[in-house]
Structure 1
Amino acid sequence: MANSPFDLANETGYHAWRDARLAAYPRSVDELIVPLADPRHLTPAEIDALEARCMRANMAIYSAPHLPAADKSLPHQLACQLGLVHLEGNYLADEDGLSSITPAGDEDSARGDFIPYTHKPINWHTDGYYNALDRSILGMTLHCAQDAESGGENTLLDHEIAYIQLRDANPDYVAALMQPDAMTIPARMDEVSLSPTLSRGERGQTLSPNQSIARPEQSGPVFAVDPEQGFLTMRYTARTRSIVWKDDAVTRAAVKTLADILAGSEYILTARLRPGMGLVCNNVLHTRSAFSDSPEHRRLLYRGRYYDRLNFTARAA
């Protein structure tokens, strides 16, 4: 981290970087929007425009309302042109690796157990905060196929801005949240029905006749710096259940201060994605408000989680 603005000992470098970031940061979500003729075939000018937004805020919003919004090739091919190629696979995703984020029906109890697949609000988080550190989610896309009848807005905040505001409050808070055991996500248990053809070992570590570990406990920092490329990542959830914070005074104060920042930062942006619009980002902080649907407006977004960061140098080649 030598000469890095994220080195807590590098005050000069930090303040130069900080001042530039805050001066460039958009104050309206409209500043993030880039109209695209065809997300599947970006022009050099469109790539430049997307890159310019992401340089300012680690995110951009594209808009192509004239194309069939439910066409999944739009977010797929757009992501590939921006260096997002390694999709995270999870058992709730579609066969193509994207997740169809829409309220689950009665017949889809597996998805209905998770808040993204309901009409409920989702608090501040970065995607994949429960992942193992070697499977960190660095990039994310969110493509709107259909918006809700009402509600369903996303609030957005560049995680680098959250870092700045926390460090300005107290650098010790940043140090606390960089500890390798700052935030722990307990193991998630699944109810299982053991098949007579499978042993317990094949189904996972069984803790009771009807339970197995679906996801092991995962500890890690909130803020981390990539050792090779030097960029900042964030792993965070504002949830109060199924999370354990390191039990020391500085960490507790840091968590509270970060929550206060997210409750009222002047840099928070609010977006309502319409059909044909989408978000591309380096896994920034985001929320979702509660929403209601109608037969004509059943909210459906395609989400992609990637082990890559946005990369504009490849160009559409």
Structure 2
Amino acid sequence: IPYTNRPIGWHTDGYYNSPDRTVRGLALHCVRQAESGGENRLMDPEIAYILLRDRNLEFIRALSRGDAMTIPANEEEGQDAVRAEQSGPVFSVSPADGSLHMRYSARKRNIRWRDDCATRDAVTALEEILADPGVYGFRYRLSAGQGLISNNVLHDRSGFEDGKGPGRLIYRARYYDRLENTGPDAQFK
């Protein structure tokens, strides 16, 4: 879906990656915007964590389990798996710097949630928060020459339509490191 004009639901990049390939930072650069649509919504995962925690601390415990969310293997019939099955928490803390990381996808297919009441209730609560992020959500449509550099934030994208000329072109880069000086011990100068 990322390479189509269809809408993409809330997610963090690389949610299907293995833990040693955790995406912690990202950059987008718009070369050409679509004729219409292609707007992103962004939300800081730490805000999502706080809002969820304030509803019920058990939601955080459920989504911090190592088997909270599983992405099935990406397999093609008759071939080896393109990507192995990946289970892991939605919320985790980096041992390197103590920063919070969120691994999430609002997908309804090709995702398995831990099958217990606590996880189901936590996922429902998170979906409610993301359905209406209020003042904590940021909505923006990149124009040509604009970009976004951030830690791996929650984001979605509306569908878009290209005109008759060259279509929408967005370059995307993902990084295994967070932006410098953005962890819990950040020193601003």
User: What range describes the TM-score normalised by the shorter chain of this pair?
Assistant: over 0.9
Which has the greater radius of gyration? 1
d(CA) in 2 for partners of 1:243 and 1:117?
A: 20
Query: CA offset at residue 228 of structure 1?
Result: 2.7
Counterpart of 1:123?
A: 9
Structure 2 residue 40 is the aligned partner of structure 1 residue 154? yes
Alignment-mate amino acid for residue 305 of structure 1: R
Counterpart of 1:246?
A: 114
Query: CA offset at residue 296 of structure 1?
Result: 3.3
TM-score, normalised via structure 1 length: 0.56
Q: 1:283 pairs with 152, 155, 163, which one?
A: 152
Is the 8 Å Cα contact of residues 185 and 244 (structure 1) preserved in structure 2? yes
Structure 2 vs 1, CA of residues 312 and 166 (structure 1 numbering), >3 Å: closer, same or farther? closer
Is the 8 Å Cα contact of residues 148 and 297 (structure 1) preserved in structure 2? no
Counterpart of 1:137?
A: 23
Counterpart of 1:233?
A: 101
Unaligned runs of 5+ in 2: 183-189
d(CA) in 1 for partners of 2:30 and 2:166?
A: 12
Alignment-mate amino acid for residue 311 of structure 1: E
Counterpart of 1:301?
A: 170
Q: 1:211 pairs with 79, 93, 106, which one?
A: 79
Query: CA offset at residue 312 of structure 1?
Result: 5.0
Consecutive aligned runs of 4 or more in structure 1 exceeding 4 Å deviation: none
Of structures 1 and 2, the one with the larger relative CO (CA 8 A, separation 6+) is: 2
Query: CA offset at residue 265 of structure 1?
Result: 1.4
Is the 8 Å Cα contact of residues 190 and 211 (structure 1) preserved in structure 2? yes
Q: In the TM superposition, what whole-angstrom CA distance separates every residue of 1:158-209 from its partner, at most 9, and x where no partner exists?
A: 0001001100000110010000000000000135xxxxxxxxxxxxxxxxxx
Q: In the TM superposition, what whole-angstrom CA distance separates every residue of 1:72-113 from its partner, at most 9, and x where no partner exists?
A: xxxxxxxxxxxxxxxxxxxxxxxxxxxxxxxxxxxxxxxxxx
Unaligned runs of 5+ in 1: 1-114, 192-209
d(CA) in 2 for partners of 1:289 and 1:182?
A: 27
Return the structure number with greater helix share.
Answer: 1
Percent identity over the alignment is 58
Query: CA offset at residue 247 of structure 1?
Result: 0.5
Aligned residues, how many?
A: 181
d(CA) in 2 for partners of 1:312 and 1:280?
A: 14
